[in-house]
Amino acid sequence: MRTQVCIIGGGPSGLLLGQLLHQAGIATVILERQTRDHVLARIRAGVLEWGSVETLRRAGVGTRMDTQGHVHTGTTLAARNRGFRIDFAATTGKQVMVWGQTEVTADLYAARDATGAPTIHGASDVGLHGLDTDAPFVTYRLGDTEHRIDCDHIAGCDGFHGPSRKAIPASVLREYERVYPFGWLGVLSRTPPVADELIYANHERGFALCSMRNAMLSRYYIQCPVDDPLDKWTDNAFWDELRRRIPSDAADTLVTGPSIEKSIAPLRSFVAEPMRWGRLYLVGDAAHIVPPTGAKGLNLAIGDVHYLSDALIRHYHDRDDGGLDGYSATALARVWKAERFSWSLTTLLHRFPGQSPFEQRMQEAELDWLEGSLAAQTALAENYVGLPY
């Protein structure tokens, strides 16, 4: 098989890149290790920066998002069971959209189906070859049969554990990582959200987050040891602990119900450099991971897709390779700023092992300063709604 761009990974970043390139008349093949049902079952982030919203609209997949998504113009930060609101619209003139990654992926699959472009599921033993030549190719297996795709370029949209990043020589690749000493216990419930906007809560017992997917689907998190057994956290134990950590007015109105999904996720900050080697370009989690505090993971992937799609379109339409040559440096400049924001917010809101009462009061003092400083709120809001591309 021959194509112009082989995309490894059929999650939202790979599908979005394929859609934008198809609109520009550039042929793609997407390889995905999992089944389509598995990809669509993943529970992930639900907050989109406005730049991500505009990119999805440009890709022609914004109709359901615009009619069913929820626009948020602010968020609440809390400490000692009392919250205050940061107004995104007033400080930045922008807003965010709550629209789950599962829904984004479903819209992108529908768009891919409409194009008829190939998406190959169940591809195992994916290998990347000839990356430092003018004739790269990808091999993979379907069942017992090995297949080959010849291409001009390869986009590694295959996540943290995929083969793309590992194909860059160790002598070239530099990796930076911070693993956090706690996890997030997340619960999904068919209950009305406790608030119209997200609540991020600092508490001496640990962090908590109240978020939503829609008017009758809520997503809640509490900080816990990453190695806690999941069966320790009954629904009642979770709801009781959440109430202890969030603002009192929210705790008083919290509607609880049976969990329909419950899991503990580890937190890490990770960046790989460079994001380009030869004809390979890393996108999204293949190159960087952020803790979910601040909702930057999917948004960073969409930013990468924005840069790479524009660069490939310039390459094919204008014979201009400036975007491809500068892809890694351009994407990483934005990635590191988002990493800083996510790291900073995680450090501010979570309780770390061995944290002293003094350190807890310093977190509370910084949140108190944020509440009274328009300049500080503006800086936080600018990062939350998304830095410009």
- Strand, coil or helix: 195: coil
Q: DSSP labels for 58-123?
A: HTT--HHHHHHSEEE-EEEEEETTEEEEEEHHHHHS--EEE--HHHHHHHHHHHHHHHT--EEES-
CA–CA distance, 349 with 346 (Å, rounded to integer): 5
| Neighbour tally for 358: CB within 10 Å | 7
Q: DSSP labels for 135-192?
A: S-EEEEEETTEEEEEE-SEEEE-S-TTSHHHHTS-TTT-EEEEEEEEEEEEEEEESS-
- Minimal CA–CA distance to 340: which of 293, 375, 304? 293
Provide the 8-state DSSP code for 130.
-
CA–CA distance, 202 with 362 (Å, rounded to integer): 12
Return the active site residues.
72, 200, 292, 296, 384
CA–CA distance, 113 with 119 (Å, rounded to integer): 9
Contacts of 154 (CB under 8 A, 6+ apart): 5, 6, 7, 8, 128, 131, 136, 138, 164, 279, 280, 281
Contacts of 88 (CB under 8 A, 6+ apart): 72, 73, 74, 75, 94, 95, 96, 381, 384, 385
CA–CA distance, 125 with 117 (Å, rounded to integer): 22
